Chain A
C-alpha cells in the first residue's frame, strides 16, 4: 500500500520533473522542501470528506506535460466587448507579456516578483505539485488610495494537448483602494489539459475589491482554482464564480475576514450538463466582530451533469455580531443529473445571526404551464424559467458589460432565454 502511495505523486510529475518551479526564485527553501517530500502527498480518494463526490483519478492517471508555447494566440474572441480593461494573458500557465497590456493605470503595479515570499505550506497533493512545479508567477499590487477606472482582465488559455498549467497569482490591494478584477478561463480547442491556478488576494483596510470569474472551458479540460482571500478591517470583497462550461471544475474559495466591519459576498452559478462535474467548495472564516458574509450559489443541472456544493462558515469565538447568510438552490433538469450539496456552519460565538438553506428540485410545473398557456413553447418556457432562476446571481455582476458578456455566453449555449 505504502509503496503504491509513494509512487503516485512522483509518477504523476515524472514527465515534468525537470521543470524548475517559478516559485524557486521567490522561496527556494520551501520549494526544495516540498519537492523532497513530494512522495508523502497522495491523491485523494472519495473516502476523503473533501473529495467525496469529486473523483480525481481522471487527473492523476494522465501523463501531463509542461508546455511553453510562444506561438501567436488570438485572444480577441475572449475579450469582453466594450469593457474598459487592461489585460494579462497566461498561455499554458506562462505569462505572455507579448499578448498582455504593456501599461497599466497609475498606482497599478504588475510584476513577476512576489511581495509576500512567505508562501503557505501545501495542504494537499495538488498544492504540493503546484509549489514544486509552478509554471509562472504574477504579482499585482495596487497602491493606497487608488480607485481604478479600468478593469484588470486576466485570461488563462490552454493551447497544447496533455498540458498542465500551474500559474501563481498574487494580488495585493492596499488601504482605501478600489480594484476590479476579471478572470476568464478559456479553451482554444478540445485538447485534454489541466490547469490549477492559485490566487492569493489581500484586501487591505477600507479597500474594495470586486472579482468576476468566468469559467468556460472544453469538456476535456480539468480546472482547479484555489482562492485564498484575506480581507482586513472595513474591507469589502465580492466574488462571482460563473461556470459556463468545463469537463471537470473544482473551485476552492477560502475567504478569511481578518478584521472588523467587513462585508464579503460570494456568489456562483453553474450549469453542469453532458458529463461535466462542477464542484464549489467555499469557506468563510469570521474571526472578528461585526462582519457580514452573504453567499448565494445556484445550479442548473442537465443530462448526466453533476454538481457539488460545500459551503463552510466558521464563526470564531471573538466574532460576535456576525451576520452570515448562505443559500444554495439547484434545479435538476434531467433524471440523471446529480447534485450533492452540504452547508456546514460552525458557530462558536453566541451573539450572531447565521442562516443557511439549500434546495434541490425540479422546475416549477405550475409556472411552466402558465407560460405555455400564453403560447410559449416547452423549450422557451423552460429557458425563461431558467433565466429567472439564475437572474439574481447574474445581477451580482455589477458591471453591465461583463454581465452582458456572461448573458451572451449562456444564451449562445441555449442555457437561458432573453
Chain B
C-alpha cells in the first residue's frame, strides 16, 4: 500500500529525514517510536503533504501513485489521513460544516453525490459515539475551546467519518489521561480492518498496550534504525532509548 524509499527531507535548511525506508501493507499497523527530535512528526507531515518541508531525495508510493507529487487535498481524497499532534483551532467554522464539506469532497472523488442532511446527521451520530464525543461538539467551532482529550477524540471522529485507507496518528496519545487514551484507542481499534493500514507515531509504549501493532520501528536521526515486533516496544519501555542511540552512534563513530 505504502512504500517509502530513501526519504530525505528538510525544513529551513535543516535536514530531518536522512534516508528513511518503510513498507506498509494493507491491514498492517506500524508503530514508529523514537526519542524527541528524531523526525517522527516530520515523517507524518511529509506524508500528509505539508509544504513547509522540502523533500530532497527518495520516493513515496501510495497504491502505485507518487504521493509526493500530489497536493495535500488529493492525498486526503485518495485515502491518506493524518491525525494531528496539535489539531488546529478554527474559530467561526463549525465542526459540522467542516466535516460536511470534507465528506462531500470524499464522495465527489468517488463519483458520488453528497449525503442528504438527514443521512449525514445519522452518520455523525454513529461515528461520534465511537469516540464517546458529545454531540454538542459537532456544532461548536472546530477545536475551539476543546480540551486536549476532546481535540484528539475529534481527530479520531474525523477519521471514522472520512474512512481513510491509510491513517497516520501523530502522537495522538500525547497529553491524554488514561480514560481518554482508552477511548481514543478503542475508536482506532474499531476502525481496524484488512484494508486499512495505520502508522502510529508515539513516544511512549502505553498507547501500544491498547493499539497492538504488527511492527515497531525506531526512528533516530532521521532513519529507521531498528525494527521488530510488538515486543520491541516493551523493550524500549523497559530500557529507554539510550541503548539504541548508543548502538547507532557507535556504528557512526567507527
Contact = CB atoms under 8 A, between A and B. Distances in A.
Contacts of A366: 88
Interface in B64-85: 71-73, 75-77, 81-82, 84
B101 interface: yes
6 contacts: A367-B88, A369-B88, A371-B102, A373-B81, A380-B101, A388-B90
Given A375-B109, A376-B101, A377-B105, A370 B73 contact: no
Interface in A111-156: none
B98 A369 contact: no
Given A372-B72, A372-B76, A387 B93 contact: yes
Interface string A383-418: 011011101100000000000000000000000011
Interface string B103-127: 0011001000000000000000000
Interface of B: 48-51, 71-73, 75-77, 81-82, 84, 87-88, 90-93, 97-99, 101-102, 105-106, 109, 141-142, 158, 162
A374 interface: yes
A391 B76 CA distance: 27
A378 interface: yes
B105 A389 contact: no
Contact of B87 (A370, A378, A387): A370
Closest 7 CB pairs of A and B: A388-B92, A375-B105, A375-B76, A374-B102, A370-B88, A391-B92, A372-B72
A374 B76 contact: yes
Contacts of A392: 92
A244 B91 CA distance: 22
B22 to A, nearest CB: 20
Contact of B84 (A364, A370, A385, A389): A370
A370 B99 CA distance: 12
A387 B71 CA distance: 23
Nearest to B144: A388
B99 to A, nearest CB: 8
Nearest to B82: A373
Nearest to A390: B92
B50 A369 contact: yes
B73 A375 contact: yes
Given A372-B73, A376-B73, A387 B48 contact: no
A385 B93 contact: yes
A392 B92 CA distance: 7
Given A370-B87, A384-B98, A385-B93, 15 more contacts: A364-B88, A369-B50, A369-B88, A370-B84, A370-B90, A371-B98, A373-B73, A373-B82, A375-B102, A378-B73, A384-B97, A385-B90, A388-B92, A388-B93, A417-B101
